[in-house]
Amino acid sequence: MTGHHPVQLPTGFRASGVTAGLKASGTPDLALVVNDGPDHHAAAVFTTNRVEAAPVTWSRQVLADGRVDAVVLNSGGANACTGAQGFLDTHRTAEHVADVLGVSAGDVVVCSTGLIGELLPMDKITSGVDAAAAALSPEGHEAAAVAIKTTDTVHKVALHAGPGWSVAGMAKGAGMLAPALATMLVVLTTDAVVQPGDLDAALRAATSVSFDRIDSDACMSTNDTVVVLASGASGVAVRGEGLATALTAVCSDLARQLIADAEGAAHDIAIEVVGAASVDDALEVARAVARNNLFKCAIFGNDPNWGRVLAAVGTTRAAFEPTTLDVTMNGVRVCRSGGVGEDRALVDLTGREVHVVVDLHAGTEAATIWTNDLTHDYVHENSAYST
């Protein structure tokens, strides 16, 4: 975790975070990240939710040519389910950023997060963009990361430093963390000299084993966006595997920070499935356990209820025999061969970290999904969010 140390932008970037007045709390709510080049390569992945917010529809178009000059992000409103007016507002936001920065609106990514179904106050957006542009700085990474928080209790940043180049990242997200894509807002920046095709491939490789493998509450957002910008300002050419490794390191770091800050969570839970016939089988089983409300409540209660693990495994189509399943919880094999194993009283769940290993005894593949417990605080936060 690097979240508590300031993480600087790579060379070629400036950023800022300001208070536009979108949030009732009066905390920062508008961020700007600008790529000053010389390269302006970019790639992105978006939510797979068919009900997508206006900024997602817009930004998909922006990414079509692989060039991005700036990313503007706001908290305090998702601009989702806002119809034609919502899309016009996103377009107008991009136009205003473009005017202020002297770039093309078609090269400005827009990200929004907050409550669904409300129009953004555009006067505050435009004055906020003006203030953010005035505040742009090579030291602005942390301020930008702070301004995109919603129910996040901490801002999230991460860094991977290579020889003469680096990748930095900022992320927000504390709920609706489920996969089938990154489910949060993430901006990654690198000063490496990269080929656009390499950038896209490396980003997809990185997100598939990081953000796609966290599953806090099985809920998929309408606004999720992960965008990576490459300035080439370091002059160091990086490609293929090296780029993917660096992006994966930063994405994995951010993903763990997101799970650690998930709404109301009291335990961080790693569901590791081993002995699977395929990675897909391992992921299906791990996700079925991670999404089981009864299991998640049991962990909240420090209860090593392995029966609920087996009941969840039994709902999948993965290759396994019920009579050969093993389940280990924090080092204690509480279920052996589908039946009672070591004494469940030996399992210590009082710490924050929980490690569940499910051995399918059906092959040699493995995968891990990271999730949280289901707590009173989760219910409280999510029953009071919009009121």
For the record, the structure tokens of 377 come out as 């605080």
In the complex with its own copies, the residue whose CB is nearer, 20 or 312, is 312
- Shortest approach of its own copies to residue 325 CB, angstroms? 8
Of 217, 261, 268, 281, which one interacts with its own copies (CB under 8 A)? 217
Polymer length in residues for the chain:
387
Torsion angle, alpha carbons of 252, 258, 262, 265, to 10 = 50
89-97, 338-346, 348-356, 361-369 -> range binding its own copies (CB under 8 A): 338-346
Determine, following the binding rule CB under 8 A, whether residue 342 of this chain makes contact with its own copies: no
Determine, following the binding rule CB under 8 A, whether residue 150 of this chain makes contact with its own copies: no
Determine, following the binding rule CB under 8 A, whether residue 340 of this chain makes contact with its own copies: yes
Active site residue 153: no
For residues 4 and 105, the answer to whether their CB atoms sit within 8 Å is no
Binding site feature residues for substrate? 150, 172, 183, 263, 382, 387
Helix (H) or strand (E) holding 377: helix 376-383
Determine, following the binding rule CB under 8 A, whether residue 337 of this chain makes contact with its own copies: yes
Query: What's the rounded Cα separation, in Å, for the pair 30 and 79?
Result: 14
For the record, the structure tokens of 236 come out as 């160091």
Q: Is 387 helix (H, G, I), strand (E, B) or coil?
A: coil
Determine, following the binding rule CB under 8 A, whether residue 52 of this chain makes contact with its own copies: yes
In the complex with its own copies, the residue whose CB is nearer, 6 or 322, is 322
Which stretches does DSSP call E strand in 178-330? 185-190, 225-230, 268-276, 326-329
For residues 232 and 41, the answer to whether their CB atoms sit within 8 Å is yes
Of 18, 220, 290, 329, which one interacts with its own copies (CB under 8 A)? 220
Residue 6: closest CA among 15, 233, 191: 15
- Shortest approach of its own copies to residue 7 CB, angstroms? 30
> Which residues would be at the binding site for its own copies (CB under 8 A)?
49-52, 78, 80-83, 85-86, 115-119, 175-176, 180, 217-222, 291-294, 297-298, 300-301, 303, 305-308, 310-316, 320, 322-323, 325, 335, 337-340, 374-376, 378-380, 382-387
